[in-house]
Amino acid sequence: MLFDSHAHLDDEQFDPDRQSLIDSLPKRGISYVVNAGADLDSSGRSIELSEQHSFIYAAVGVHPHDAREMRDSDLDTLLKLAAHSKVVAIGEIGLDYYYDNSPREVQRKRFEDQLNLALKADLPVIIHSRDAHNDTMDILKAYSSGLKGCVLHCYSGSWEMAKIYVNMGFMISLGGPVTFRNAVKAVEVAQKIDMNYMMIETDCPYLAPHPHRGKRNDPGLLYLIAERIAEIRGMKAEEVAQITLKNACRFFGISNN
């Protein structure tokens, strides 16, 4: 049984078949999904999905792409949403210097605003970081002692940085890119990281694992990521599934019964 620590099942790509797809997931080995928000609307939709399906939990937050649209009053709205019983994290939040959809100083401000929100809400954070590894690390270091928990989602940084994060008690979540034929850094992380700090995710509908690369992703493909990590480490896929599920339950405060 698998825990998908990061999905966007509210995405419009699932509009044609969302209900039947979600209903099929338990049969396809999915025990839990955390659906991550990217703005206020999708945060609200994440909560709706979590209300409709017992195995879906929600994260609420504003993605760095949308940082420039954010107003201070949105922080109060997010804090209210965060009080919902199925909300288990603030996210996804962070920095994206690849697309630079929002000015970098605005991204950094809204990232810190939402880290402070997580402290207030006493929830762990889900971090998006793309081509912004140094700034992400600098900011997170300043918050590391206060945060309830932190996961670097779809981690794309180096093993050296992963080690520093793990030493701060942070989690590393691996997704589809670890299965890509040209993967180097993610493979090294998958190989060397202490399994107690690993989670797995689809980030669906994006980043479908090999051999579905480029197509729509969904949590039913998460087993391919577990299988690839197992192959890299010389373990059984069931062990990878079991350990990452246990880690994610602990991280998000979900009791697994």
Q: Which residues bind Ni ion (CB under 5 A)?
A: 203
Query: Can you tell me the distance from the alpha carbon of 235 to that of 252, in angstroms, rounded to the nearest whole number?
Result: 25
Q: If you search the block for the tokens 């270091």, which residue do you land on? A: 141
Cβ proximity to Ni ion: between 63 and 86 the closer is 63
> Which of 39, 124, 41, 127 lies closest to 87, judged by CA?
124
* Shortest Å distance, C-beta 245 to Ni ion: 19
Say which residues have a Cβ less than 8 Å from residue 7's Cβ, sequence separation at least 6.
Answer: 33, 34, 35, 36, 201, 202, 203, 204, 218, 219
Cβ proximity to Ni ion: between 65 and 212 the closer is 65
One-letter amino acid for residue 236 of the chain: K
Structure tokens at 77: 């709205």
* Shortest Å distance, C-beta 85 to Ni ion: 23
What residue is closest to Ni ion based on CB? Answer: 203
> Which of 183, 150, 185, 184 lies closest to 168, judged by CA?
150
* Shortest Å distance, C-beta 235 to Ni ion: 26
The residue ranges of DSSP E strands in 16-97, in sequence order, are 30-36, 56-60, 87-96
Beta bridge partners, 95, equal 129
Cβ proximity to Ni ion: between 34 and 191 the closer is 34
Cβ proximity to Ni ion: between 59 and 121 the closer is 59
Cβ proximity to Ni ion: between 179 and 217 the closer is 217
* Shortest Å distance, C-beta 227 to Ni ion: 22
Dmax (CA) for the chain in angstroms is 49
* Shortest Å distance, C-beta 6 to Ni ion: 6
Helix axes 237-252, 222-233, angle to 10 degrees: 110
Cα 61 from chain centroid (whole Å): 12
Cα separations in angstroms, 202 against 8, 16, 41, 80: 9, 19, 21, 27
* Total residue count of the chain as it appears in this document: 257
Cβ proximity to Ni ion: between 206 and 242 the closer is 206
* Shortest Å distance, C-beta 64 to Ni ion: 11
Residue 112: asked if its preceding bond is cis (omega within 30°), the reply is no
Cβ proximity to Ni ion: between 39 and 203 the closer is 203
* Shortest Å distance, C-beta 38 to Ni ion: 7
